[in-house]
Chains A and B, each alone.
Chain A
C-alpha cells in the first residue's frame, strides 16, 4: 500500500494504518527519541510509548493533514510527547539523567521547583528587592546547566535540597557583589564571574567545608592569642559585651570614640593579616 493511501486511512482512524506507518518510520523516530533523551535508552522507550499512545488518539488522527508526510508529522508530535514524559516522571527518575547532563531533566526539575526557588530566593535576598532574587535565580539556572556543576550532584540523593544549596550560595554571592560600587554592574559581573562549579562531588565538597571550618577555628584562636591584649580587649568589649565605641573609649583609658574606633579597626586588620598568613582570607571558599 502506498504512503498516501496509508496516510489517508490513518487520518480516518484505521489502527492498521498507524501500525504500518509506524514500522516504516521506526528508525527515524527511534533516532530522534534517543537524541531528545540524551541517549538514555529507557527514557527513549518511554517517549516512544507515549508518542504511539498519542498518535493513536482520535484527536491526533483528526488533527493530521493527510497531504503531509506522516513521518514529519510524527516527528513533530514527538517533542511535546517527550516533554509530557519528563513532566510526569517522579523526581527520582530524573536525578541520574540530570547528573548525566540531560537538558530536559534539568528543565523538568527546574519547572517543578520554580515557585519554591522564587520564594526562597526572595526571602533569602531579604524580602525586599525582587531584582536580587531574580539575579540569583538567573545565576542559579545558568550554573545548573553547566556539566561541571551537574557532576557535583550525587544522584543517590534528593535533588531539591542540593539545588537549594546552590541557590543559597548564589544569593550570598549576589549580596556580596552588591558591596560598595558594584551596585549597578551585576550584569557585567555575571560574565566575569569565576566558575564556582568546580568540585568532584557533594561529599568531597562537604568534607572540604568541614576541613575549612576546622582550619578557621584553629586559626582564629591562634590569631586572637597573638593580638596585643588591649586590641583584643577592644574586640571583646565590642562584640562579646556589646559596648558602644563611645563607652569603650571612655572606660578604657579615656581615649575617646575615634581612638576606640581606630583600635577596633587595627585589631580587625591584624586579625585579617594573621588569618591571611595562615592561608585564610576572602575568597577562601568560592
Chain B
C-alpha cells in the first residue's frame, strides 16, 4: 500500500494534473487497504476537529453520491468525467466523505458480479449445488459463497457482542470470535451448508478452544431463539449510534438518551423527552418516527443476513 492515496488531495491534484488525479483516485477506490486507511484518516480528522475547532459543526453535511457512484461503476471514472456526466468537484467531495468512499469502493469492486456459475458438468463430480448452497443476495451465506469477505466481516462484526451475551460468554471476546469465524469462512467453501447452520458449531468450537464455558448451550435447533434476541437488541443500537452529518445538538442528545435506555421501538422512543425546549414537538415526533422506521429496517436487514426471516 502506498500512503499517497490516504493523503490524496484530489481537488488540488485535479487542478494541476487532471488525468493523474483521476488515476490516483481510481487506484484509491480499488484498493481495500487504501480505502480503509483513508476512511480512518477522515474519521480521525473529524474526531480531532470536535476538540480543535469546537465552534464548527462537528458533523459533515450529508450528501448523496448515488449518481456519482453509479457512473464510477458503470461508465468508468475517467470516461464519465471526460463526457461531462461526472463533476470533478463532486469527486473531490466524495474523497472527503468516508461513507461515500466506502460505498464507492464496494460498488466498484463487488457489485455487478454475476453469481458463481459453472460449465455444464459433463463429467462426474460434485454438482455446483453440493458445494455452494443456493443463496439469496443479502445473506451471510451469499457473501461467503461469493468470497465477499470485507462485507461479510463488516456486517457481522456489530452483532457478535450481543450474540456472546446471549449465550453467557464474555462480550470482550467479540474480536477474537470474529477472527475465528473469518478463518473458518476464508479457509473453506460452504459445502452445501448455510452460514447460519454452521455458526452454532463454530461458537462451540471457539468456546472450547478458549476454555470458555458458555452459560447456555447452543444447538442448531434452538439457534434461532438465541440469534433473534441478539439481533433485536443490536439493530436498534446500530441506528442510534449513527452520527449523520449536520445533526443538531438536540438530536444527538436524544440518541444518547435512547441508547442509555436501550430503546428498540417507537413505543420506547415516545417516552423519551428532551429537556431542551428549543425543539418543536413536530420535529421531535418526526425524528422519533424516522428513527423507529430505520430501526425496523435495520432489524429486517439483519434477519435477512442471518436468514432468520
Question: Which residues of A come within 8 Å of B, CB atoms?
Answer: 46, 85, 87-93, 112, 116, 122-129, 154, 156-158, 160-162, 164, 168-169, 171-172, 175-176, 178-180, 202-203, 206-207, 209-210, 212-213, 216-217, 220-221, 224-225, 229, 232-233, 235-242, 244-245, 264, 268, 271-272, 275, 280-285
Give the docked Cα–Cα distance between A224 and B49 (Å).
Answer: 11
**B149 touches which one: A112, A158, A206 (CB < 8 A)?**
A206
Contact A240 B75 (CB under 8 A): no
How distant is A253 from chain B, measured CB to nearest CB, in Å? 14
Query: Residues of B contacting A239 with CB < 8 Å?
Result: 9, 41-42, 45, 96
Query: Residues of A contacting B96 with CB < 8 Å?
Result: 239-240, 242
How distant is A191 from chain B, measured CB to nearest CB, in Å? 21
Query: Residues of B contacting A122 with CB < 8 Å?
Result: 76
Give the docked Cα–Cα distance between A240 and B74 (Å).
Answer: 28
Contact B76 A88 (CB under 8 A): no
Query: Which of B185-193, B206-214, B272-280, B283-291 interfaces with chain A?
Result: B185-193
How distant is A245 from chain B, measured CB to nearest CB, in Å? 7
Contact A90 B128 (CB under 8 A): yes
Cβ contacts B137-149/A at 8 Å (1 or 0 each): 0000000011111
Query: Which of B77-85, B235-243, B263-271 interfaces with chain A?
Result: B77-85
B215 part of interface (Cβ distance < 8 Å): no
Interface size on B, residues (CB 8 A): 73
Query: Residues of B contacting A116 with CB < 8 Å?
Result: 114
**B26 touches which one: A126, A203, A240, A280 (CB < 8 A)?**
A126
**Given A92-B118, A175-B26, A240-B45; A126-B126 close (CB under 8 Å):** no
Question: Which residues of B come within 8 Å of A, CB atoms?
Answer: 1-4, 6-7, 9, 11-12, 20, 22-24, 26-27, 30-33, 36-37, 40-42, 44-46, 48-49, 52-53, 56, 60, 73-80, 82, 92-93, 96, 108-109, 113-114, 116, 118-123, 125-126, 128, 131-132, 145-149, 179, 182-183, 186-189
**Given A126-B22, A175-B23, A179-B20; A241-B49 close (CB under 8 Å):** yes
Give the docked Cα–Cα distance between A275 and B41 (Å).
Answer: 12
Contact B125 A161 (CB under 8 A): no
Query: Residues of A contacting B26 with CB < 8 Å?
Result: 124-126, 175
Contact A282 B2 (CB under 8 A): yes
How distant is A201 from chain B, measured CB to nearest CB, in Å? 8
**Smallest Cβ-Cβ distance to A122: which chain B residue:** B76
**Given A206-B149, A239-B45, A240-B49; A282-B4 close (CB under 8 Å):** yes
Contact A283 B48 (CB under 8 A): no
Some 7 contacts from A to B, beta carbons below 8 A apart, are A128-B76, A168-B30, A175-B23, A217-B40, A220-B41, A264-B9, A285-B1
Give the docked Cα–Cα distance between A235 and B108 (Å).
Answer: 27
Give the docked Cα–Cα distance between A206 and B179 (Å).
Answer: 11
Query: Residues of B contacting A90 with CB < 8 Å?
Result: 118-121, 123, 125, 128
Contact B40 A220 (CB under 8 A): yes
